[in-house]
Chains A and B, each alone.
Chain A
Amino acid sequence: MKSFQYLAPIPQFDYLAPRKLSEVFDLLEVHGREAAVIAGGTDLTIALKERTAAPKVVIDLCHLRSELGGITYGKGVLRIGALATFSEIEASHPVAKYANALREASANVGTLQIRTIATLGGNLATASPAADSAPPLIALGANVGILGRSGERTLPVQGIFAGPKRNALQVGEIISSVEVPALGGVRSAWTRAAVRNENVLSAVSVAVASIVRDGTFGPSRIALGAVAPTPMLAETASKAMTGSRATAERAEEVARLAAEDARPISDIRASARYRKHLVHVLTRRLIMGVLSEERVS
């Protein structure tokens, strides 16, 4: 019974807050899998209480905001530091301009009191299938920057998810940033279904990014959350949408294909069948939104 463990203190650990990135890598090298990295801490603190994490050492990145934080735009790339909080992302003008789906998802993560400390890098590192930041980033074709002692590598955002609550970081690596291609004319949107509107995990979340031009869908991507072991690109649906005529009939067909792409399970939040239904409805709603936005602009 998990809940009883909350009555006992969190097991002891050493807490370290390095002032340099190189010290982070030193510590990760020494402590390996016995170390946990903490950014905002909203996931790790719960894992410590539930004993799903029992690190000997906790490495706090709080002094590395200048290296790992901030949101900048330049040369067609929106760069969001791993330590950027969801409140910062929600309030960012470049995010609103170039990554609307991410802004919408960020404004719905957790609660106000969680968004003020929870970070984008932490959300990705926790690798929940329901991570709300993931579908927008996947739909927008974003990459994750991963930093290790020997340098940086990048993965498409879906590549950081290795399985439910399992990330693709090697020992000694941390997430440094997320880079979103910031192209003019891209419309993106995110929505989700859950048992209530706020303060809840998504039963299904969907993001769509597309360029609509001359009555046609240009490059388009649909990404889904909480309907597979990891957030996923709805490949069949994305391909069917790209290059097709921008009509309500096509939106319906693409939405149906997105529901087929989904591979959900049944759990306490929704049945597999209901999740597929939700993917269909939410995808169609988002595409119609992208279409109507196009008409008014």
Chain B
Amino acid sequence: MKGKVRLNFRLNGEERHDEIEPNQTLCDYLHDVAGTTGVKKGCDTGECGACTVLLDGMPVTSCLVLAPQVDGRDVVTVEGLGKTARPNPVQRAFVEHDAVQCGYCIPGMIVTLSWIRDHVPEASDAEIRRLMSGNLCRCTGYQQQIDALKTALGTASRSG
């Protein structure tokens, strides 16, 4: 009696209708089934943030969400935030600031920082660090990414 369930939701602005096994995380579903491979599985325990997506506009670690939980809801992955030809301001600033090294954490980082840009634009440095503490990066030391966010916010200091 283990049954498939219907999954109707909006993915990056487009309605998606599917029938799925419920025993999979949103992270696995998005990456392996829906083809939004910008969703990266890192720790699979909600600590690293590489799988961060927006669920009804709020950042969530998609490895801690079961795929059927998003029925009727709105999901945005990094693919929905910008394209190579038309990057969003945070993505553009990441390129300017060399904020990418190995790249694995970057899609999740872009999702979180884009959310901060849109919803907490007045955040102090300490608040930015607190809000991005769920996105681990083992390469950069975070400073380039914070600098990039400030450029995207238009609050980068002129010196340095």
Nearest B residue to A43 by beta-carbon distance? B64
Pair A6/B52 contact, Cβ less than 8 Å:
no
Pair A114/B134 contact, Cβ less than 8 Å:
yes
Nearest A residue to B1 by beta-carbon distance? A14
A34 shortest CB reach to chain B, Å: 12
Which residues of chain A are within 8 angstroms of B130 by Cβ–Cβ distance? 197-198
Nearest B residue to A42 by beta-carbon distance? B64
- Cβ of A49 under 8 Å from chain B: yes
A135 to B93, CA, bound (A): 42
Nearest B residue to A10 by beta-carbon distance? B23
Nearest B residue to A60 by beta-carbon distance? B69
Please tell me which one of the listed residues B2, B58, B68, B133 contacts residue A111 in the complex, with CB atoms under 8 A apart.
Answer: B133
A198 to B60, CA, bound (A): 16
Pair B44/A6 contact, Cβ less than 8 Å:
yes
Please tell me which one of the listed residues B3, B21, B22, B46 contacts residue A114 in the complex, with CB atoms under 8 A apart.
Answer: B46
Q: How many residues of A contact B (CB 8 A)?
A: 31
Given contacts A41-B66, A198-B130, is CB(A116)–CB(B55) below 8 Å? yes
Q: How many residues of B contact A (CB 8 A)?
A: 34
A87 to B132, CA, bound (A): 14
- Cβ of B49 under 8 Å from chain A: yes
Which residues from 19 to 72 on chain B have a C-beta closer than 8 Å to any C-beta of chain A? 21-25, 44-47, 49, 52, 55, 58-61, 63-66, 68-69, 71
Pair B23/A111 contact, Cβ less than 8 Å:
no
Pair B60/A17 contact, Cβ less than 8 Å:
no
Which one of A11, A41, A111 has the highest number of Cβ atoms from chain B below 10 Å of its Cβ?
Answer: A111
A26 shortest CB reach to chain B, Å: 16
A-B contact pairs, 19 of them (CB 8 A): A10-B23, A12-B2, A13-B23, A14-B2, A15-B68, A46-B64, A49-B44, A62-B71, A110-B46, A111-B49, A111-B61, A111-B133, A112-B59, A112-B133, A113-B134, A116-B58, A197-B130, A199-B133, A199-B136
Question: Which residues does B use to contact A, with CB under 8 Å?
Answer: 1-3, 5, 21-25, 44-47, 49, 52, 55, 58-61, 63-66, 68-69, 71, 112, 130-134, 136
Question: Which residues does A use to contact B, with CB under 8 Å?
Answer: 6, 9-15, 17, 38, 40-42, 45-46, 48-49, 58, 60, 62, 87, 110-114, 116-117, 197-199
